[in-house]
Amino acid sequence: MTWILVRVGEIWLKSEKTKKALMRRLVTDIKQRLSKSGVEFKIEKHWSRLLIWVPDTKWAQARGILTKIFGVVSISPGKKVKNDLKEIEKAVLAEFEGFSGRFAVKVNRGWKGFPMTSVQLAAHLSRRIQEVRGESLKVDLKTPEKVVFVDIREKFTFIYSEVFEGPGGLPYGCQGKALALFSGGIDSPVASWLVARRGLSLDFLFINFYGPVLESKIYSVFEKILEWLPDAKLYSIRLPELRDEIVAKVPEGYRQVVYKRYMYRIAEAFVRRIGAKALITGESLGQVSTQTLNNLITIQSAVSIPVFRPLIGWDKDETVSLAKKIGTFDFSSRVPEFCKLENHSRTNVPEKMARKFEESIDLDIENAVSRAREVRKMTIPDLAPNPDILSNLEIVKVWEGEPIYSKDKKYLIICKSGLAAEERAYSLRKKGIEAYALSKRDYDRIQRKA
């Protein structure tokens, strides 16, 4: 069997009442996550530590779960023994079986009733290791090749040699519920993870300008978030008509801000529908033209609920670094830009001007929210053609218009970003028509190689 020492950090700085409540929530979260994954376990509470027993065969699985639970600072697998010098010696010696090289023993005497000080016990154990395992083992406190830790508590001693980092923070959900606006890009997953680490439970809302193909790409990013927030839900509202209305009725330079204000309004209505209390976005000050201070003020004026922006002071490199750490970066990088409505956005759109343009937009917010549906995992076939069959395909460039499609032909549909082409090809596939899709850039690249 394997014993796992679970450390908490910030939780232990709270008042006694708050500390107990947070520890209860953390233990509940751990139990639910391990049970859901089919891991047999037993939990013991010891002051500022938790000890979890799991079968040896489940240690790797348990590690993957525990290191993704908010509130857990770190974990260590090891041996739990009595506060008896002989038992401690035996367990420590076992850690050095087959090892030769530089080593150190570090002792934390959390229970002051133990008859030796930390320094005395560390020196004693180091001598015993050399006596039993041989002089080939050298004590080196500065650059050891192996370190064994001895943590003495009132009712037991824990011996370990590995530490696996957890996310830290506060137990998930202890601060209430919020809604995250989710695009599947690099920023929104990181922003969501950061507030979840501070104790917010989250659901996610995706405003979909296209269809099921884009939705499946977004869901692949959301799946990585589920590793951290297993009970979260992703909702989608398909609103291609909002994109079309804004492009047709709002002048270049103002479209992105107007679009963001509508996103906020839709999200605010959905926040109330699901009983959340705030909105989370991935905006970072000055990152793009809609995220200048003036435009953020104009955008936020569209709603009355709190809007939290965890990345407001971050640069892109910092966000990318955390995205890689939490596992979302590779998946987010595969999501193409899909909400760009203009080439040049103004950096200072007054609220009064935005409201003026919105008067011409025909969108019922409550009706839009009523169309929200929970997104489930779906399988989309590979829509990119093998270059060898290109000569057998009828080329359709969507900006030149589309034909009446026939089951007697095979099609390659091309658009600038590839998204509209993928959606059209997938729709045709469902009707029994063989169709493929490429972005204009990918098509041109293949043609140059031909």
CATH for 45? 3.30.2130.30
For 410, the domain range is 387-449
Residue 213 sits in a domain of what CATH number?
A: 3.40.50.620
Contact 81, 159 (CB under 8 A): yes
Cα distances (angstroms) measured from residue 317 to each of 321, 332, 337, 367: 6, 15, 19, 39
Report whether pLDDT(388) > 90.
no
What is the mean predicted confidence (pLDDT) over 281-291?
A: 94
Contact 88, 157 (CB under 8 A): yes
To the nearest whole percent, how much of the chain has pLDDT over 70? 100
Map tokens 């609103």 to a residue: 239
**Nearest C-alpha neighbor of 47 from the set 136, 143, 155, 138:** 155
Does residue 152 share a domain with residue 209? no
Please tell me the total count of domains within the chain: 3
Mind listing the pLDDT tens digit for each residue in 345-374? Answer: 999 999 999 999 999 998 999 999 999 999
Report whether pLDDT(420) > 80.
yes
Does residue 19 share a domain with residue 64? yes
Does residue 124 share a domain with residue 217? no
Does residue 285 share a domain with residue 333? yes
Mind listing the pLDDT tens digit for each residue in 125-171? Answer: 999 999 998 878 999 999 999 999 999 999 999 999 999 999 999 99
What is the mean predicted confidence (pLDDT) over 205-215?
A: 94
- Residue 17 in domain: yes
Cα distances (angstroms) measured from residue 415 to each of 389, 397, 420, 440: 19, 6, 6, 6
Mind listing the pLDDT tens digit for each residue in 216-258? Answer: 999 999 999 999 999 999 999 999 999 999 999 999 999 999 9
What is the mean predicted confidence (pLDDT) over 97-102?
A: 91
- Residue 266 in domain: yes
Report whether pLDDT(337) > 90.
no
**d(C-alpha 46, C-alpha 39), whole Å:** 21
* Tokens found for residue 404: 């009446």
- Residue 301 in domain: yes
pLDDT for res 395: 95
Domain boundary among 342, 374, 406: 374
Residue 340: pLDDT band (50, 70, 90) is: confident
Does residue 119 share a domain with residue 95? yes
Does residue 181 share a domain with residue 153? no
Does residue 217 share a domain with residue 112? no
User: How high is the mean pLDDT of the chain?
Assistant: 94
Does residue 147 share a domain with residue 24? yes
User: How, if at all, do strands 42-46 and 279-280 pair?
Assistant: unpaired
Lowest mean pLDDT among 139-153, 250-264, 265-279, 333-347: 333-347
What is the mean predicted confidence (pLDDT) over 281-296?
A: 95
* Tokens found for residue 22: 């947070």
**d(C-alpha 432, C-alpha 359), whole Å:** 42
- Residue 170 in domain: no
Does residue 194 share a domain with residue 127? no
- For residue 81, the one-letter residue type is V
- Strands in 435-439's sheet, in edge-to-edge order, are 394-397, 411-415, 435-439
Contact 242, 363 (CB under 8 A): yes
Residue 344: pLDDT band (50, 70, 90) is: confident
Residues in a beta bridge with 160: 78, 149
Does residue 190 share a domain with residue 265? yes
Query: What sign for the dihedral angle of Cα 398, 372, 69, 9?
Result: positive
Does residue 305 share a domain with residue 209? yes
- Residue 382 in domain: no
- Residue 172 in domain: no
| 306 or 47, which is more confident | 306
Provide the H-helix boundaries in 109-186. 118-133
Domain boundary among 134, 165, 196: 165
Mind listing the pLDDT tens digit for each residue in 25-72? Answer: 999 999 999 999 999 999 999 878 899 999 999 999 999 999 999 999
* Tokens found for residue 328: 């979302």
Report whether pLDDT(300) > 70.
yes
Provide the H-helix boundaries in 96-153. 118-133
To the nearest whole percent, how much of the chain has pLDDT over 90? 87
- Residue 255 in domain: yes
pLDDT for res 393: 94
Judged by DSSP in three states, 280 sits in strand
Residue 44: phi, psi to the nearest 5? -120, 135
Contact 212, 242 (CB under 8 A): no
Does residue 347 share a domain with residue 208? yes
Domain boundary among 348, 374, 400: 374
pLDDT for res 274: 97
- Residue 263 in domain: yes
* Tokens found for residue 250: 């709002």
Report whether pLDDT(450) > 80.
no
